[in-house]
Structure 1
Amino acid sequence: MKIARLPSADIHWRQDGDPDGTPVVFANSLGTELRLWDKVIDLLPETGLRLIRFDKRGHGLSSCPESPYSMDDLASDTQQLLDHLQIGSCVFVGLSIGGMIGQLLSHRQPERIKGLVLSNTGAKMGEAAMWQDRIARIRAGGIESLADAILERWFSEDFRQTAECLAWRHMLVRTPTEGYIGCCEAIAGADLTDSTSGLRLPVLGIGGSEDLASPPAMVRGTADLIAGSRYVEISGAGHLPCVEKPDVFAGHLMTFLKEDLHV
């Protein structure tokens, strides 16, 4: 296991694939950690791609600074991690809050992000009042009290009947409460519409037809803010298509890398 001791937080990260390949950085959703990408990583080529993933602050094996957090904090953590890993430029794949981090990082350091995958995310995800209500309910009853409702937003009905879904439930409820709440605060305070509208880089938006957390129209609308972007929708998948339909997700990612970025 690898920990980057950064000025802002201690960030747990992992590298797979080709250490001399094109860096592809994966950023996770709220309530998950870097194992979110296991199935996709297993489907990608062993040569040509340097595959980096990490636990954002307050999640997985990273440290949990006191909340609240802002999207600027999360983008700064990621920027510091890339500095630590000496990654001058990369392809960034972000899901949900990870996609918001990718949008902001692309705005702050356009020379660093050569291509951006926005999976199940938005420039603005919900209203602040909704997030504050979720925070209040978690402070009162813990993440466990909302776990079943969150899983309904994450996964299709068929997937929720599988034994594997239990593992994702366990991951969710074991997320540090302050880390989860801190990231809720970051989402509540973020409206990236203006900065995302100014991005000029290759972008692939990926939606899930059964996603109740970031409906396909939200993802498509966010991708449409960026001139020249493409959008694809994965049928039968919810908020985490990299878990439910990893082969389809990996196929779209590889097409983007080859055809749009010539990697």
Structure 2
Amino acid sequence: MKMFDTGEVRLHYRVDGPDDGPPVVFSNSLGTDMRLWDPILPLLPKGLRIIRYDKRGHGLSSCPPAPYSMGSLVTDVERLMDHLKVKDCVFVGLSIGGMTAQGLAVKRLDLIRALVLSNTAAKIGTVEMWDERIAAVEKGGIEALADAVMERWFSKDFRATPELELWRNMLVRGEDAGYAGCSAAISGTDFYATTATLRLPALGIAGAEDGSTPPDLVREMMDLIPGSRFHLIRKAGHLPCVEQPEEYAQVLTDFLKAVGHV
């Protein structure tokens, strides 16, 4: 557990694995922290340099006043990667983390050699939808949205298990300003034109029961990147790395091998 001051925000981050290992950077979803990736990490190939971080307003990172821009989220991780001297990584982004990945790849292709865009899209939702969510959080806190968020995040079967409470607690114990700020960043993002300029290996992952970024939306984004791959994980919602960690880790491992990263 370490903290890096970008000059604008203090980012909590963690590095696991050897310093000279092939770097893999993980960027998590709205309302979660870096623990999102815990279920899959033991299942990945040994020897990787695994870098995780809490985006601004989430986890143990600092929480500047809302709203945030997607450009700020991209710059945050860009500065962290420069600080860690990361080049030619495979960047794995889920939901808002996948939007950050798209923006960073367009801005700094020297940092990324391949992309994994999980449960994300070039544009998510509408301005009106996000305005409603931000207003709800400002009025009643994240708790006001929590049950609806769980329905989008997880399949019906998973929502019947005790583990649901872990993820609901992670959500509602987050900073209201962080959730609202990142919601504003998503609201203002449309990457259709810029993502279509990307020319690098890319894998899209979708959950069959994802209520936030349905499979067709993920596939539409991947169609913008020539030669990209797409994988659908069944019996999973918006966070398939939680519900189906074995399959998620296997798909990711196969991609790392295919691009020569392991």
Q: Quick one: distance in 1 between partners of 2:36 and 2:261?
A: 26
Instruction: Note the C-alpha offset of 1:262.
Output: 4.7
Measure the CA separation in 2 of the matches of 1:18 and 1:223: 32
Distance between the aligned counterparts of 1:224 and 1:260, measured in 2?
19
Matched, 1:94 2:104: no
Could you tell me which runs of 5 or more consecutive residues in structure 1 were left unpaired when the two chains were aligned. Answer: none
With over 3 angstroms needed to count, the CA separation of the structure-2 counterparts of 1:262 and 1:89, relative to structure 1, is: closer
**2:189 is aligned with 1:190:** yes
The alignment's TM-score, normalised by the length of structure 1, stands at 0.98
SS in 2 for 1:3: strand
- 1:16-165 to 2 correspondences below 5 Å: 16-47=16-47, 49-165=48-164
8 Å Cα contact 1:156-1:237 kept in structure 2: yes
Percent identity for Structure 1 against Structure 2: 56
CA distance in 1, matches of 2:252, 2:5: 30
Q: Deviations over 1:37-74 (max 9, x none)?
A: 00111111222x10000000000000001111000000
Q: Give the match's secondary structure for 2:115.
A: strand
Superimposed CA distance per residue, residues 231-255 of structure 1 (whole angstroms, 9 cap, x where no aligned partner): 0000110000000001100000011
Instruction: Give the AA of the match of 2:242.
Output: V
CA–CA distance in structure 1, aligned partners of residues 122 and 68 of structure 2: 17
Between the aligned partners of 1:231 and 1:254, the Cα distance in structure 2 is: 14
Give TM-score, length-normalised by structure 2: 0.98
Q: Is the CA contact (8 Å cut-off) linking 2:45 and 2:253 kept in structure 1?
A: no
Question: Does the aligned pair in 2 maintain the 1:18–1:46 contact within 8 Å?
Answer: no
Amino acid in structure 2 at the alignment position of 1:236: K
Q: Which amino acid aligns with 1:205?
A: G
2:13 is paired with a residue of what secondary structure? strand
Moved over 2 A (4+): 260-263
Confirm whether residue 4 of structure 1 aligns to residue 4 of structure 2.
yes
| Structure 2 gap ranges (5+) | none
Aligned Cα root-mean-square deviation (Å): 0.8
